[in-house]
Amino acid sequence: MSTPTRRRLFRDFKRLKNDSPTGIMGTPCADNIMVWNAIILGPAETPFEDGTFKLIMNFDESYPNRPPTVRFISEMFHPNVYANGDLCLDILQSRWSPAYDVSAILTSIQSLLHDPNPNSPANAEAAALYRENRREYVRRIRETVEKSWI
């Protein structure tokens, strides 16, 4: 069964394979193109360097008119990531555009890592440390990075 949404997801996958931006990759589940596994490598020269953060993306027939739901399944310590891995990212909510694709989503999340938005905290502790105690913040990030290897 092929629907416009599925066809678009095939296209997203093809684009991602042909020209994937630095340090991100995603692939649909073998038996369900509506669910994707993805990986984001922590950007170099940031505390997130060497992290291999795993995510799951969940699409439905409203894609690309509505964004997918994206969740970290690696443990994440970040001002804009909830304890259960859900993200607080504008492009996945109010600033979504149907012109975005999987590659754009993953790239945005990658840049969110080192460029958090402490004004809309999903993790109050991380946001507070980010503002007030950067050294401790970095230490916690490094812990997250090490956990992401498992």
Contact residues for other proteins, defined by CB under 8 A: 1-8, 10-11, 13-15, 18-28, 30-35, 37-41, 52, 54, 56, 58-62, 64-67, 69, 71, 73-75, 84-88, 92-99, 101, 150
Q: Which two tokens stand for residue 64?
A: 């690309």
Q: In the sheet that 24-29 helps form, which strands lie side by side, from edge to edge?
A: 24-29, 32-41, 52-58, 69-72
Nearer to other proteins, 69 or 133 (CB): 69
Closest CB 70 distance from other proteins, rounded Å: 8
Element (H, E) at 34: strand 32-41
Say which of 38, 57, 87, 88 is annotated catalytic: 88
Cα atoms found within 13 Å of the Cα of residue 4, Cβ hemisphere only: 6
Active site residues: 88
